[in-house]
Chain A
Amino acid sequence: MLRPRHLALLALLAAPASAAVVDYQLDPIASTVAFETDFGPDLITGTIPLELADLSLDFDNVANCTVEVALDVTGAKASFPFAAQALKGPKVLDAKAHPRMTFASTSVRRAGDAADVTGNLTIRGVTRPVTLKAQLFRPQGSAAGDFSHLTVKLTGRVNRSDFGATGWADMVGDEVRIIITAHIDAKG
């Protein structure tokens, strides 16, 4: 998922004191929202395209960070054709009625090298609080204080039944693991 040049994990604790709140814009082409869930003895994997992401990062005070993300459910892909259809169909994400999936942070807390981002996740029009783990990376070779291009990795898990996405419950697992890899550029 992460390309090697992005593997320099930013220790948020060690961030320089200079920065105030910085707004970022997403590079949607280079960013992915990947998911996986159990399918019998196997996995179903797939991606959902990011439609927009609005991020403000405060390297001095993590609690000031905000994240808003919207996904285009109609563009969801899965590891085999039936899974993509099932995913977008009325029994799971119901892309026709709910083409957007959104996440808006409500609180961000530091957790070691990472941060816990709690927010409201809306799937199928149902909103539930979830907590994602966030890690920031800067491109390898970039200067230690250069935060103009970053990679955000957000990971977490949801139970799809919480959102009414119950289709094929006898075949496909309830827990869905999410890995968001967002490439972001500082605005201005």
Chain B
Amino acid sequence: MGLRNGPESFGLVSRLFHWLMAILVLSLIALGLRLSSMEPGLSNLWLYGLHKTLGLTALGLVLLRILWHLISPPPGPMATGWERLFIKAWHWTLYALMIATPIAGWAGSSASGIDTLYAETFVVPPLVEADETSEFVWFILHEIFAKTLLGMVIIHMLAALRRGMAGDGTLTRMLRGKA
């Protein structure tokens, strides 16, 4: 079982990226929804820091994942014709949203005028200048991207489950590498 991807199989590195990011993305969206509905106080202020740290981690991981896929291209979807193209476009959109969502959150945090910290320690450089209108716009975008990502991830999971139950190997090869 190799680290690299084969023409029909997922290597260990790609699978680790996939499942680690699955956990991160779902945790981040759950945490984000919690943040947007809770009453902030001293006892839960750290959750904002956690969300920012996990979000920046996810951004770093998705960039590394793309870099890895340039080095070791993953196998294409197990479908043919228009369906294959559609699934590819779906996956590319997932990637675009996994990049755009944390960037919009980072920009919104920067626009708030408060330092963005990674791991409660390192100050991340601001992406944009502090400005109330820009803060509002970036956080609206952050929310739209995150909710679109959530919807698309749920459909992605249901589609993978359906194919898994149909036994075409889609789910198996992401779990074990080979179909």
Contact = CB atoms under 8 A, between A and B. Distances in A.
B42 interface: yes
Most B-side CB within 10 Å, residue of A40, A81, A171: A40
B113 A85 contact: yes
Interface residues of B, number: 14
User: Which label, helix, strand, loop or mixed, suits the secondary structure of the A interface?
Assistant: loop
Contacts of A80: 42, 45
Contact of B40 (A81, A167, A171): A171
Contact of A41 (B39, B112, B114, B115): B39
A149 B138 CA distance: 54
Contacts of A81: 115
A39 B114 contact: no
Contacts of B39: 40-41
A89 interface: yes
Contacts of B130: 89-91
User: Which label, helix, strand, loop or mixed, suits the secondary structure of the B interface?
Assistant: loop
Contact of A39 (B41, B115, B131, B132): B41
A43 to B, nearest CB: 8
A103 to B, nearest CB: 26
23 contacts: A39-B41, A39-B42, A40-B40, A40-B42, A40-B44, A41-B43, A42-B41, A42-B43, A80-B45, A81-B115, A85-B113, A85-B115, A86-B112, A89-B112, A89-B114, A89-B130, A90-B113, A90-B131, A90-B132, A91-B112, A91-B113, A91-B130, A171-B40
Given A81-B115, A85-B113, A89-B114, 11 more contacts: A39-B41, A40-B40, A40-B42, A40-B44, A80-B42, A80-B45, A86-B112, A86-B113, A89-B113, A89-B130, A167-B132
